[in-house]
Amino acid sequence: MGGNRTYSEWFSFRVNLRETKHTMRKTVTTINHEKLDHSTRILRALAHPLRMKILQFIDKHGTINVNKIYNTLKLEQSITSQHLKVLRLSGLVKASKDGKYMHYSINYDKVGHSIQAIRNFLKEDL
């Protein structure tokens, strides 16, 4: 038996524990996997410091081409492209092609919705 408890105290504790377990109800939640995957992409995109730096840079300049991003931020072109791909797939940035150059701009609607969703989630958690 546990600690200094008498048998009746131990039995009473176990009965109370068992009653607590039986009164707990299971909650069935339906998960929209498509929304979950999309939310995961957005949070993953926002969670990386370099992607946040790229977002700030794009925000400061409006629409900007990829060459200016990696040259100014002193990044390798391949790394910049990988991070921009994550941002683009999450919907946080828009890409447009002008001849041989890719131009990026922030999708402010998506950013705003994402911030509001995070705020709503945090309010529920408090």
Instruction: Give the count of domains, the chain.
Output: 1
By residue range, what is the domain housing residue 102? Answer: 33-125
Residue 41 domain-assigned (yes or no) = yes
Q: What is the pLDDT of residues 69-118, one digit of tens each?
A: 999 999 999 999 999 999 999 999 999 998 998 999 999 999 998 888 88
Q: What is the pLDDT of residues 37-78, one digit of tens each?
A: 888 888 899 999 999 999 999 999 999 999 999 999 999 999
CATH of the domain at 118: 1.10.10.10
0.85 cut: is pTM over it? no
- Give the C-alpha distances (Å, rounded to integers) separating 13 from 7, 10, 27, 74: 10, 5, 26, 64
Residue 27 domain-assigned (yes or no) = no
Residue 14 domain-assigned (yes or no) = no
Q: Which two tokens stand for residue 102?
A: 């890719």
Residues contacting 25, CB < 8 A, separation 6+: none
Residue 22 domain-assigned (yes or no) = no
Residue 25 domain-assigned (yes or no) = no
* Ramachandran class of 45: left when φ > 0, alpha when ψ lies in -120 to 50, beta otherwise: alpha
